[in-house]
Amino acid sequence: MEGGSFDAIVVGSGLGGLSAAASLCAAGKRTLVLEGHYVAGGNSQVFRRKQHGKEYEFDVGIHYIGECGRGGTISSILNGLGLAERVVFRPLDADGYSTLHFPDLSFRIPFGWDGYRARLHEAFPNETEALDGVLDVMYGVATAGRRLGRGEIQMGSIMQEAPIFLEQGLRPVTDLFAEHKLSAQAAAVLLGEQGCYAVRPSQTPVVMASGLTDHFLHGAYYPIGGGQVIAGRLIEAIRAFGGEVRTQSPVHRILIEDGKAVGVVTGKKNQRPTEIRASIVISNADLKRTVHELVGDENWAPETVERVNGMEMSVPLFCVYVGLDIDLAAAGYPNSNHFIWGDYDIESVYDELDAGKTTSKAMCYITTASLKDPESRHLAPSGHTNLQIMTLVPRDYSIWNVEKTPAEGGRYHRDPVYRERKEALMEELLETAEQVIPDLRKHVVWKEAATPISQERFTRSTGGTSYGVEMSTTQVGPMRMGPATEIDGLYLCGASGPSGPGISGVMRGGVAAASEVVGEDLYGRFIAGEVLGDRSALPELYEGWDAWKESH
């Protein structure tokens, strides 16, 4: 047993857990992060592949992010931890950071609400009044939510200062569209990026749809050096400020004694488990696994167990990782994401997914890391392109011929039916992507795919989702769990928390958990520009620093 050397233990090294740990270390609490995988970072991690001496580095979860400009959530947290100059972001194309493709319409989304409104008016000249009615509500809800999140208004006074937030925020966005008689085409464009949270339109609250739109209209970015950079720099700060990050250290149990969290049981496979004691434990692990497996149902109130049992997880993703022997940047392709939808009726896409069917109507999302960070020495060899393609798939694992999940000890990778179905969907997505990159398949020199089962294997997320508990009308905001819990000394962070999924959501949730621990609003201090992290304790910057290696 290890005891007394750590003030806090964080279970899991996603960006929520790393943000919590870095904040605690900056506030003077020695914190240990335990990660089961061999590389830290959770969904923000990367993996590398080599073939014939050529290397590619693929992002698992960071593809484009908002809140990285002046005063943004991510930039403020990094600045508050002393990391402002260590993580640099490059914006995507300001005139069209994302391009939406529908059967007979393409739409480029520009930065800024005014430009967005004007471009929608151009695309739908007969619906300007309806669009203005919808956009006025979305902008009002998003602005109120932003002010609320930054502490500029308090929930107790929101009815007086921003009544639109309570009046409109939790209603289904489809009700708002119907009220203003918006066409199916215009509605689909407004929801064109909804794969970033993956919720059925009729269950998507206005606050979710508005918040995502606002999130990127303020600027869409990618970290220079690749997605692992944020995790790598947070780990650097944790270590510099007196904490520790241990990979290949899975947590088997969170210890509860007399209703209090007192530490964890950890240990590699086939090794004797070790107890590590601390009076504070923050779980960045999957919510359902935290409640049922790490803590155990017997340590929670029955109503808490019932509540968590009833929570619906988000729809998962299928991802394809591709290396091309052509340089799309040199060919003049814009630095834009692409969302290809086979139908304007996004609701019907979810009907098919919930019926256990993959569907060609679902979003085909194409993102090109080589365009977002053309000078990276790891993303792709010179003259080559690194791109990824994603789509929504059913929650039901049976479509992959998998009955026993990886978390249950199931083996699936070599199953011929699993491999056949994965290969078929990968080829279908490559063919669809040729709508944007003609003859793409002729230039493929590397390809592989990951199913939700792969996601569960590496992150132990329930249902293999990247987004945690679904951000639906009945599971949004205060209806979610955390960061404080009914168990003294136990806190939660991650995609299932009140601030939701996405990089800014989980980082903010991590800081919220740390704030509960220290008893003060660390996020408010970060937003105000205060720097808690001791920059002088950080190692000197040097050329050749490798975020992936730092995260081991």
H/E/C letters for each residue in 481-546? CCCECCCECEEECCCCCCCCCCHHHHHHHHHHHHHHHHCCCHHHHHHCCCCCCCHHHCCCCCCCCC
What pLDDT shows up at residue 415?
A: 85
In the numeric block, which tokens belong to residue 504?
Answer: 């800014």
Tell me the β-bridge partners of 471: none
- Under the banding of pLDDT at 50, 70 and 90, the label for residue 187 is very high
As a whole-number percent, the residues of the chain with pLDDT over 90 amount to 84
Strand segments, DSSP code E, in 236-307 are: 244-246, 251-257, 260-266, 274-277, 280-283
**Strands 260-266 and 274-277, bridge-based pairing:** antiparallel
- Under the banding of pLDDT at 50, 70 and 90, the label for residue 3 is very low
What pLDDT shows up at residue 1?
A: 44
Rounded mean pLDDT, 33-53: 91
Residue identified by tokens 């003259």 is 383
Q: Is the pLDDT of residue 89 over 70?
A: yes
Q: Is the pLDDT of residue 355 over 50?
A: yes
What pLDDT shows up at residue 250?
A: 94
Summarize pLDDT for 114-128 with one digit per residue, the tens. 999 999 999 999 999
Of 2-16, 352-366, 435-449, 519-533, which gets the smallest average pLDDT? Answer: 2-16
335 and 366 in contact (C-beta within 8 Å)? Answer: no
Q: Is the pLDDT of residue 463 over 90?
A: yes
Q: Which of 245, 251, 273 is nearest to 264 (CA)?
A: 251
116 conformational bin, left if phi > 0, alpha if psi -120 to 50, beta if neither: alpha
What pLDDT shows up at residue 59?
A: 93
Cα–Cα dist 380/323, whole Å: 7
Q: Is the pLDDT of residue 418 over 70?
A: yes
Q: Which of 450, 446, 449, 448 is nearest to 324 (CA)?
A: 446
What pLDDT shows up at residue 405?
A: 82
Rounded mean pLDDT, 9-34: 97
Encode 466-499: b = buried (16+ Cβ within 10 Å), e = exposed: bbbbbbbbebbbeebbbbebebebbbbbbbbbbb
Cα–Cα dist 32/39, whole Å: 15
Summarize pLDDT for 267-288 with one digit per residue, the tens. 987 788 999 999 999 999 999 9
Rounded mean pLDDT, 48-59: 87
Q: Is the pLDDT of residue 434 over 50?
A: yes
Work out the mean pLDDT of the chain and round it to a whole number: 94
**Secondary structure class of 318 (helix, strand, coil):** strand
Cα–Cα dist 457/140, whole Å: 41
Summarize pLDDT for 476-511 with one digit per residue, the tens. 988 999 899 999 999 999 999 999 999 999 999 999
Q: Is the pLDDT of residue 4 over 70?
A: no
Strand order in the sheet with 251-257: 251-257, 260-266, 274-277
66 conformational bin, left if phi > 0, alpha if psi -120 to 50, beta if neither: beta
